[in-house]
Structure 1
């Protein structure tokens, strides 16, 4: 059992928060086109439908349903090659990660909703697998995070996020509903997107931000208090 302890643990969402999901989807479509143009056209339509809703789906699962695990292996290799040549992170994501990883007595990990294999594929291709990550089926991540709170007030992190305990969790996501149930002793940042308007349902301890670099400035202000 990991008995490590952090003063603060930062939990970052993946899709449309630190990852440019649209760019990642375009790269996967290109990788599929290299393998099968008909499948690429079908995939492009599915991506367009979900993008209009501001949602994401498991591209990997979609492909496997049609050509099987043997077929996805070649496509995944091509996808990794294409991703390595471009920056698939959202603006400010790398700066935020660099900032958090140099903070004393702090940890950082990814909590993402979706298909385990599909999300792991995107995380690996983006070079984010240096961070611990947990793929969840819980849309209300705030409730899930709050369930980790122990009777002594500490948060017991799941093994996928490194285990150990933390005094406080800071949660970053692009969906307002993701913060539902987040405990009041946590801190949240809602990264505004084109797909989610309004913040009337956010609790007072969740701060709307325009971009990821805003979080760095706000955290610096808090640390100086």
Structure 2
């Protein structure tokens, strides 16, 4: 079972308020950290694969820059700026972090490592990467080394407003056709105060109804039970 299969799992959630409402969502890692290139170049070396556990500061990939190679050959001596650029061709995971620079503890800034989410890394070998482009995505792990998951959904307003924070939710996860549905309980964590930006239909170009983000916490043990053993697809 790859991590991407978990990320793609679809959940229909039911929140009892004054009446039952149902809408579709996705079970996704709570925090995804995009790893971006600091220098442009060709993606020549990849040291990880989807599902691998990554340590803080670990080297993940390396770029090669023909332009930088040429500039180095043309240099008449030691050039600190060129050396710094060559160092930045290595792509690393973020360093270990427990607190912000001002010393405040912020859970959203914690970084203890992660799990590689990107599946097509081998196929991307040789691709040209611009500075700032995402090389791969990591799912951040918690203090126990597990990836926290959350169900995210974008229902229309009349459904989203019935999903109040703190209310219980019943989650039904659809699996592959030959598998039975799997269920778990959760708690509505957050309902957006405003709709997401309007989206447009690719076919007609017509604006679609605005949708509100709803997030539901799912117990990690329940997620592990639903996903099953590592070789069980979902």
Tell me which interval the TM-score lies in, with the shorter structure as reference length.
under 0.3
TM-score (norm 1): 0.25
Bigger share in helix: 1
Bigger share in strand: 2
